[in-house]
Amino acid sequence: MYLSRFLSIHALWVTVSSVMQPYPLVWGHYDLCKTQIYTEEGKVWDYMACQPESTDMTKYLKVKLDPPDITCGDPPETFCAMGNPYMCNNECDASTPELAHPPELMFDFEGRHPSTFWQSATWKEYPKPLQVNITLSWSKTIELTDNIVITFESGRPDQMILEKSLDYGRTWQPYQYYATDCLDAFHMDPKSVKDLSQHTVLEIICTEEYSTGYTTNSKIIHFEIKDRFAFFAGPRLRNMASLYGQLDTTKKLRDFFTVTDLRIRLLRPAVGEIFVDELHLARYFYAISDIKVRGRCKCNLHATVCVYDNSKLTCECEHNTTGPDCGKCKKNYQGRPWSPGSYLPIPKGTANTCIPSISSIGNPPKFNRIWPNISSLEVSNPKQVAPKLALSTVSSVQVANHKRANVCDNELLHCQNGGTCHNNVRCLCPAAYTGILCEKLRCEEAGSCGSDSGQDAPPHGSPALLLLTTLLGTASPLVF
């Protein structure tokens, strides 16, 4: 009976596992920035790397067309039907909602019939090139997490370039070239992403795969993000630890999937033949029904939430960081140089929190109680870090803004030797201790600490203190 029940449960688990196979078992969402853990001193914060969830980024972009008057309908004009290029009695009229095709229809909900789409003016000025730049801007650094997909309502263009910017449109780099003939259009041999490898994943290629003209079910263009991820994470992206390790250590790879703006350069519409039919120029135009861009706000692994307010995306920063991308330490938390978080070790990563500045503590004591991120020391057992260790400070640093600074708090600066924090302003010390954080014996000030006093001086040279100091001194921040 028990064996039968066990076999049934096992069969159910195998079935569920097989259904879930297309999905990675460990994505590393990093959806939590900190958690409380218990040590011998009570609850303390354990900080982790964190990032916002992936989402549809087209909800937050601004679109710009160049030339600005390239959208059809002003003045009204006729164009040829998509399926029959010789039936040229369709009308585009910007003043009539049912006949207008404005840019925002590139990003509206698809699934309705007939579909909605943006459309350019026709190639009525041939042989002058019919060229359009479509710029998508976020005013925020974002990280791409899925393929960029462009669905054309017309035939896919004969020539097109997808470009990216990392500096809000000041400079541009090509992402990928698309053409019916790569050698003729861009002097490049045609390739597909399948021809790449780990070592050539950043290569800019020209592909002929997506540039057919008026062909049934051939309206979609891809820029393959996931296929590039798969070079490191394996098929179906199951080995995300390998991918995160590469992103952590290779700045060029991380930057490759990071953008502030995208630009679609439409250089030549779908012709379908070798020669342009000059008698039916209303056949030639661009029309896009949908653009998909999926990604997340870049917060340098210091936030799980990105808010959209006043048409602007901003990270809600944790780890005592601040800025649109959590790219710097908050005031009074500049005790060490800012550093981005790290994906490793999976699944929690390393937070690389900003720690309080010496100047934020008031008159600097001999010992300043600052807890490091336990996971950043790669200590699996919190008890391995002696709970009463203190890091020595530089006493020559000048103190600023001491009236507004918190002397103690419940997260990082703890009163020592049994002292209690009073209103984040001062430590209430036991009778035998003194100092801002109760770090000194009263008998030290009187010069009466001896073997007969019954009070032993703190072990300044303890092995645990030396180990912790060495770890913090040698663990330099990641530089990408």
- Domain of 434, CATH number, reads 2.10.25
- Name every residue whose Cβ is closer than 8 Å to that of residue 395 and which is 6 or more positions away in sequence: 364, 366
Tell whether 334 and 265 lie within a shared domain: no
Tell whether 261 and 350 lie within a shared domain: no
pTM, entire model: 0.70
Q: Give tens-digit pLDDT for 92-137.
A: 999 999 999 999 999 987 665 677 999 999 999 999 999 999 999 9
Across the range 364-388, mean pLDDT stands at: 37
pLDDT of residue 463: 40
Could you give the number of structural domains in the chain? 3
Tokens of 209: 């795969």
Q: 353-379: string of b/e by CB count within 10 Å (b at 16+)? A: bbbbbbbbbbebbbbbbbbbbbbbbee
Q: Give tens-digit pLDDT for 281-331.
A: 998 999 999 999 999 999 999 999 999 999 999 999 999 999 999 999 999
Tell whether 44 and 83 lie within a shared domain: no
Residue type (1 letter), 381:
N
Residue 399 lies in a domain: no
Tell whether 207 and 125 lie within a shared domain: yes
Residue 383 lies in a domain: no
Rg (CA), the chain: 31
Burial class (CB in 10 A: 0-12, 13-18, 19+), 9: exposed
Tell whether 310 and 181 lie within a shared domain: no
CA 47/CA 44 separation, integer angstroms: 10
Neighbour tally for 422: CB within 10 Å: 12
SS (H, E, C) 335-359: CCCCCCCECCCCCCCECCCCCCCHH
Give the domain extent around 104.
Answer: 55-297
Angle of CA points 331, 372, 421, to nearest 5°: 70
Categorize the per-residue pLDDT at 474 as very low, low, confident or very high, splitting at 50, 70 and 90. Answer: very low
Tell whether 423 and 311 lie within a shared domain: no
Tell whether 63 and 208 lie within a shared domain: yes
Across the range 416-424, mean pLDDT stands at: 73
Tell whether 112 and 207 lie within a shared domain: yes
- Domain of 135, CATH number, reads 2.60.120.260
Residue 57's φ and ψ, nearest 5 degrees, are: -85, -5
Q: What is residue 173's DSSP assignment?
A: E
Give the DSSP H/E element, type plus range, for residue 444.
helix 442-446
Tell whether 227 and 147 lie within a shared domain: yes
